[in-house]
Amino acid sequence: MLRVPASSWLFEVLNLQIQVGYLAAEADLPSEADLAKQYGVTSDAVHEALKALALMEKVRQFPGGWSVGNRTEFEPPRVRTQIARDLVRRLRTGEWSYGDRMLSETEVMAAYDVTRGTARQAYQRLAAAQLVEIRHGQGAFCKVKPS
């Protein structure tokens, strides 16, 4: 089994959460200790992941913490990312609660006029960002716990 360093895994998770808009531009991130507890990794892994994101100008450090940077995108996001962002917006407005079944791939296809592959990729991005759980044959379920 291939083992991925915790800092690399967390980098990918946080980067995807930024890309899909779950972590909003200019928002303060939880403390390194809180991120370590939330994701079950060491504080060193959190710090390494945040440093890597800072090199990409996705986050910036300030005295006492980190915030999401507002790096300008030079090309419009792909359709799958736009759909993922919209689904995140709907999560934030409370359309789905923790454990709720979200739209099916077929419903996403109809709502956004996209192919099944694009609908699936949007959900895969949210799953990689730890925002939804995909259950084979059952659908996608909200993993965002109330604040």
Q: Is residue 92 part of a domain?
A: yes
Q: Are residues 60 and 84 in the same domain?
A: no
The whole-number mean pLDDT for each consecutive block of 10 residues of the chain, a chain of 147 residues, reads 77 92 86 93 94 87 83 63 91 91 96 94 90 94 81
Q: What is the pLDDT of residues 67-86, one digit of tens each?
A: 898 554 445 678 988 999 89
Q: Are residues 94 and 129 in the same domain?
A: yes
CATH assignment of the domain containing 98: 1.10.10.10
Task: Please name the residue that has the structure tokens 């915030």.
Answer: 67
Run of H or E including 139: strand 139-142
Q: What is the pLDDT of residues 5-24, one digit of tens each?
A: 889 999 999 999 998 888 88
The phi, psi pair for 140, rounded to 5°, reads: -110, 140
**Domain of residue 127, residue span:** 79-142
Whether the CB-CB separation of 45 and 7 falls below 8 Å is answered with: yes
Look up the pTM and report it. Answer: 0.64
Q: Is residue 1 part of a domain?
A: no
Rounded-to-integer distance, Cα 129 and Cα 87, Å? 13
Task: DSSP letter for 113, please.
Answer: T
Tokens coding 64: 């006492």
Q: Which of 68, 93, 116 is the last residue of a domain?
A: 68
Tokens coding 91: 């999560």
> Burial level of 104, CB count in 10 A (0-12/13-18/19+)?
middle
